[in-house]
């Protein structure tokens, strides 16, 4: 399997391309970011977007917020550096960890912000997870569509014409590049956020295999992008902060830790030095494991490649970490299988249908021979409630 000659990302990574020197498209995008952008001019552009709405509405902007490193920094920057009054909107995907919640509590109180927290119907979420796994080999459809559509509904309802997100996708993938204007709009949503399945189609795909809850069109609203005509009428802009200031994860993590008391955490399959990465979801290990089975790489490949691009690691150091951390089954998979009421054999069969050549997916025997990752310190605090009393009683 071919990998980038500069970082360690493989050809099976979605959206990645390679030039005639064997360097991947994301490495080239970061080179352009570092040398080809006038960031002072970009910051001036940001002011031109913000100033016309500042103080004109109940809130200056909507900030979608998970509580991870990127949304926390975005909120800090907009409040402290730009003096904005945002409405924080949280879409609760169902797997928020205790440390994340503590961080969010400190952040909201320190910065002094209003927060709207939405938790979708768990029985609908379970059905969406299973169907997305079957159809796309990615159970996170409900999370991604909800995170990117629900704040837009809130912006319409509250009549706030500006939504500000964190990093642009060009930082980590090649759906967009840094020399393009990347709006977080319906085009972007349909290009890669919803995995090519809109809410109406998903509704027609659902069955009663794990829950007899009767999902209706009303249940799907949080996962459906608002009508384009309504967004145009309000002249709503949805932008990435990282399109206007140079995104520097290490520096930003230091700042949120220093100024907000934000605390990192362990994540399955991730080296301890990356205690800031994806701490917001206790199913993250399953998502990364599923990617490893399908594509032959996981989170450590991604993280060390970022460090290579920023001159913080050598390729050899990264290869060593990838060997140590990518490729072992996470304990959280047991809980995941329980949520979806499937066996590990069934899970492997589903995922095998989405494997990306030339990667060859390991067998279940090979997975078991490789061993399991250790349980995280808060593993026993993760919810065992499925919604079926007989199964819930077994877990208690």
pLDDT of the residue at 391: 64
User: Has residue 395 got a pLDDT over 70?
Assistant: no
Contacts of 86 (CB under 8 A, 6+ apart): 59, 60, 61, 62, 63, 75, 78, 79, 113, 164
User: Has residue 396 got a pLDDT over 60?
Assistant: no
pLDDT of the residue at 393: 55
pLDDT tens-digit map of 107-139: 999 999 999 999 999 999 999 999 999 999 999
pLDDT of the residue at 394: 58
pLDDT tens-digit map of 346-394: 999 999 999 999 999 999 999 999 999 999 999 999 999 998 756 675 5
142-151 average pLDDT score: 98
HEC assignment per residue over the chain:
CCECCCCCCECCCCCCCECCCCCEHHHHHHHHHHHCCCHHHHHHHHHHHHCCCCCCCCCCEEEECCCCHHHHHHHHHHHHHCCCCEEEEEECCCCCCHHHHHHHHHHHHHHCCEEEEECCCHHHHHHHHHHHHHHHCCCCHHHHHHHHHHHHHHHHHHCCCEEEECCCHHHCCCCCCCCCCCCCCHHHHHHHHCCCCCHHHHHHHCCCCCCCCCCCHHHHHHHCCCCHHHHHHCCCEEEEHHHCCCCCHHHHHHHHHHHHCCCCCCCCCCCHHHCCCCCCCCCHHHHHHHHHHHHCCCHHHHHHHHHHHCCCCCHHHHHHHHHHHCCCECCHHHHHHHHHCCCHHHHHHHHHCCCCCCCCCCCHHHHHHHCECCCCCCHHHCCCCCCCHHHHHHHC
Percentage of the chain modeled with pLDDT above 70? 98
Strands 114-118 and 61-64: unpaired
206-219 average pLDDT score: 94
261-273 average pLDDT score: 98
Task: Pick 318 or 181 by higher pLDDT.
Answer: 318
φ, ψ of residue 64 in degrees (nearest 5): -65, 135
pLDDT of the residue at 93: 96
pLDDT of the residue at 387: 81
User: Has residue 34 got a pLDDT over 60?
Assistant: yes
What is the value of pTM for the model shown? 0.96
Place of tokens 């605390």: 263
Q: Are the beta carbons of 297 and 12 closer than 8 angstroms?
A: yes
Greatest alpha-carbon pair distance for the chain in Å reads 61
The Cα 338–Cα 391 span in angstroms is: 8
pLDDT-derived band at 233 (thresholds 50, 70, 90) equals very high
User: Has residue 18 got a pLDDT over 70?
Assistant: yes
Place of tokens 């997100």: 165
pLDDT-derived band at 71 (thresholds 50, 70, 90) equals very high
Task: Give the mean pLDDT of the chain.
Answer: 96
């Amino acid at each position: 399997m071919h990998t980038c000659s500069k970082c360690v990302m493989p050809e099976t990574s979605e959206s990645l391309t390679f030039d005639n020197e064997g360097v991947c498209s994301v490495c080239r995008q970061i080179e352009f970011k570092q040398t080809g952008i006038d960031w002072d001019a970009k910051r001036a552009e940001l002011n031109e977007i913000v100033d016309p709405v500042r103080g004109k509405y109940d809130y200056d902007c909507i900030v979608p917020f998970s509580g991870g490193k990127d949304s926390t920094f975005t909120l800090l920057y907009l409040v402290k550096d730009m003096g904005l009054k945002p409405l924080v909107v949280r879409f609760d995907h169902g797997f928020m960890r205790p440390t994340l919640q503590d961080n969010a509590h400190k952040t909201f109180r320190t910065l002094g912000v209003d927060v709207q927290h939405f938790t979708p119907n768990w029985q609908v979420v379970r059905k969406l997870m299973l169907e997305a796994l079957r159809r796309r080999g990615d159970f996170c459809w409900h999370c991604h569509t909800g995170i990117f559509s629900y704040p837009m509904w809130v912006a319409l309802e509250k009549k706030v014409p500006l939504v500000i997100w964190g990093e642009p996708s060009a930082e980590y993938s090649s759906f967009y590049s840094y020399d393009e204007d990347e709006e977080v709009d319906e085009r972007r949503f349909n290009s890669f956020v919803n995995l090519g399945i809109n809410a109406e189609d998903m509704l027609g795909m659902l069955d009663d295999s794990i829950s007899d809850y009767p999902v209706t069109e009303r249940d799907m609203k949080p996962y459906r992008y608002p009508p384009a005509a309504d967004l145009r009428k309000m002249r709503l802009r949805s932008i990435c902060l990282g399109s206007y200031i140079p995104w520097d994860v290490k520096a930003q993590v230091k700042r949120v830790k220093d100024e907000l008391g934000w605390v990192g955490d362990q994540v399955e399959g991730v080296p301890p030095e990356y205690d800031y990465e994806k701490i917001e979801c206790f199913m993250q290990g399953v998502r990364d494991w599923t990617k490893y089975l399908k594509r032959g790489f996981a989170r450590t490949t991604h993280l060390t490649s970022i460090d290579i691009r920023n001159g913080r690691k050598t390729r050899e150091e990264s290869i060593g970490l990838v060997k140590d951390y990518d490729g072992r089954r996470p304990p959280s998979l047991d809980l995941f299988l329980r949520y979806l009421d499937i066996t590990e054999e069934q899970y492997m069969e589903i995922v095998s249908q989405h494997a990306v050549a030339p990667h060859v997916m390991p067998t279940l025997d090979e997975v078991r021979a490789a061993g399991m990752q250790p349980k995280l310190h808060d593993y026993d605090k993760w919810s065992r409630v499925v919604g079926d009393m007989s199964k819930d009683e077994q877990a208690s």
